[in-house]
Amino acid sequence: MFWFYLLLSLLAGMLLGTFFFGGLWWTVQKITGAGRPYFLFVVSFIVRTVVVLAGFYLLLIAGWQHLIAALAGFLVARVILTCKLKPGGEYKASS
């Protein structure tokens, strides 16, 4: 049963990673058309960081093993999004 909760922590980390890096991708896409790009960048950074740190903190309450699993999921989400969201703003589906 412990492994099931670690798997849930891994998935939670993947969700946090998707939120953080997906939000970063969205910010970079919108920053060129923004009236105040620095404001958009700073607010986006603060919101993404606060949400991710709060999520990691909640997982840390469950135990350090859950935090490690969540960090692994966070990095997995980063790798997946890096592969899927290519430079130039185009989504490339792998064949």
The answer to whether position 92 is within a domain reads no
Q: Is the pTM of this model over 0.75?
A: yes
The answer to whether position 69 is within a domain reads yes
CA distance 70 to 65: 9
The answer to whether position 64 is within a domain reads yes
pLDDT interval class at 80 (50, 70, 90): very high
Domain residues for the domain of 15 are 2-84
SS (H, E, C) 18-42: HHHHHHHHHHHHHHCCCCCHHHHHH
pLDDT interval class at 30 (50, 70, 90): confident
Q: Count of domains in the chain?
A: 1
The predicted structure's pLDDT at residue 29: 87
8 A C-beta contact, residue 9 and residue 63? no
CA distance 6 to 11: 9
